[in-house]
Amino acid sequence: MDPQPRPPAPQAATGSVPGGGRPAVAPHLDARGGSGAPGRPPATPAAPLGTTGPSGETTHRPRPTGPGGVHRRRDPRRSALSPSRAKDFMQCPLLFRLRTVDGLSEPGSLATHKGTLVHAVLERLYDLPPEQRCPQAALDLLPGQWDTHQAKNPEVMGLFKDPGQVETWLEEARTLIGTYFRMENPRRLAPAERELLVQTETSSGLLLRGFVDRLDVAPDGAMRVVDYKTGKSPSPRFQDEALFQMRFYGLVLWRLRGRAPARLQLLYLRDGRTLTHDPCLGELQATEERVERLWAEIARCASTGDFRPRRTPLCGWCAFQAHCPLFGGTPPRIPADGVARLLTAHA
C-alpha cells in the first residue's frame, strides 16, 4: 500500500449529533438508555440520522466520503497498531509480545464468543428496513448467526460443560439483545457504516488500524462513533480508560476525514448503561501524542527483545502464565521475523 496521503489540516467538529451538540463535555454515564450531559435530551434514540420523509419514515442517505478516504483492505505488507494491541502493551509488555510478535494462540472464552455473536446480530439488524427492526426480528436473527458462528469457530462447543448449558448461554445473548432495544430505537437510525475498517498514519508515519462497530453521520456531517460492549459499564474511576479505544477511533477518523467526531458512545448491554463523551480537538491531538510515545516504548522493547511482564489484577486470567516469569514460566525465543513485521507499522 502506498503511504497514506496526509489530509488537510483537520478541523474541530462543528454541527450537532442527535440529542445534543458542541461544546465538548466530560464523559457522562447514563443508566436510562439515553446519555449525554446533564440537562441534555437522550443522545441516541432521540433523533434519526437519516432523512425523515413526510410520513415520518427514515430513508437512507448515500454513504459519506471523507477527504482522506477509507482504506477497506488491510495492507498485508505492514503491521499496524490497534487500540486493543495498544492496551495490551499498556497492561503488560510481555502479553503484547506473545500476542503480536509471537502470534501465540489463546483459548477462547464463552464470554468472548457471546460478544461476537451479539455483535453479529446487531450488525445484521441494520440490513433490515427500518420498520422491521423490532426486538423479535433481532431474536429471529440469532439462530442463523449462531449456526454461522459455530461453523467458523467449531471449538466453541468444547467450552460448554454439557449440552444443556448451550441454551442457557443463548438466553443470556437474547437478554443482551433485548437490553439493546431499551437503549436505542434502531427504527430511527440509519448508520453510515457498520463494522468499518479504518486505518491511517500519524504525522510521524505510524500506521493505526481499527474496526468501528457503527458510525452514524448526521445531515450536517457530524459523526458519532458507537461501540457495543457486552460487559458491564465501568465505575467512574475507569471511565477514562474505557474511552481510550474511542479516542483512538476518533483520532483515526479525524485524520481520515479532516473532521473530529462530535460524539463517542459506548453501549454497555449487560447493565443497560451508556457512556457518552463529546471530544474536543485537543483530546485527539493528545491521543496521537500518547500513541506516539507508546510506539516509541514498543520500538525500544523490540530493539532489545526485552518485553518485560507487568503484574496486574488481570494476571490471574492470563492464558500465557506458562510463558511468564512471574508464574515460573519461560518466554519462548523471540522470533526475528515477528519483530521485523511489528516494526513495519512505522514507515
pLDDT in tens, 249-296: 999 999 999 999 999 999 999 999 999 999 999 999 999 999 999 999
Cell 410520513 found at: 55
Question: Which residue, 5, 43, 7, 55, is CA-closest to 284?
Answer: 7
**For the chain, what is the HEC assignment?**
CCCCCCCCCCECCCCEECCEECCCEEEEEECCCCCCCCCCCCCCCCCCCCEECCCCCEECCCCCCCCCCCCCCCCCCCCCECHHHHHHHHHCHHHHHHHHHCCCCCCCCHHHHHHHHHHHHHHHHCCCCHHHCCHHHHHHHHHHHHHHHHHHCHHHHHHCCCCHHHHHHHHHHHHHHHHHHHHCCHHHCCCCEEEEEEEEECCCCEEEEEEEEEEEECCCCCEEEEEEECCCCCCHHHHHHHCHHHHHHHHHHHHHHCECCCEEEEEECCCCEEEEEECCHHHHHHHHHHHHHHHHHHHHHHHHCCCCCCCCHHHHHCCCHHHCHHHCCCCCCCCHHHHHHHHCCEC
Q: What pLDDT does residue 328 have?
A: 97
**Each residue's pLDDT tens digit, 306-317:** 999 999 999 999
pTM of the shown model: 0.81
Q: How confident is the model at residue 85 (pLDDT cuts 50, 70, 90)?
A: very high
In the predicted structure, residue 66 carries a pLDDT above the cut 80: no
* Amino acid in the structure at residue 168: T
More confident residue, 30 or 272: 272
With b meaning 16 or more CB within 10 Å and e meaning fewer, what string describes 195-227?
Answer: ebebbbbbeeebbbbbbbbbbbbbeeebbbbbb
Percent of the chain clearing pLDDT 90 (strictly above):
76
Cell 446519555 found at: 35
Percent of the chain clearing pLDDT 70 (strictly above):
79
Is 251:281 a contact under the CB 8 Å cutoff? Answer: no
Q: How confident is the model at residue 43 (pLDDT cuts 50, 70, 90)?
A: very low
With b meaning 16 or more CB within 10 Å and e meaning fewer, what string describes 7-25?
Answer: beebebbeebbbbbbbebb
Averaged pLDDT, 205-230: 98
More confident residue, 42 or 277: 277
CA torsion angle 323 313 235 176 (round to 10): 50
58 strand-pairing partners: 52
Which residues have C-beta within 8 Å of that of residue 204, sequence separation ≥ 6? 292, 346
Q: What is the mean pLDDT of the chain?
A: 85
C-alpha cell at 88: 495490551
Q: How confident is the model at residue 108 (pLDDT cuts 50, 70, 90)?
A: confident
Q: How confident is the model at residue 347 (pLDDT cuts 50, 70, 90)?
A: confident
206 strand-pairing partners: 346
30 strand-pairing partners: 274
In the predicted structure, residue 28 carries a pLDDT above the cut 80: no
Averaged pLDDT, 70-84: 75
Least reliable range by pLDDT among 41-45, 204-208, 224-228, 250-254: 41-45
Is 72:274 a contact under the CB 8 Å cutoff? Answer: no
Averaged pLDDT, 8-24: 42
Q: What pLDDT does residue 31 have?
A: 60
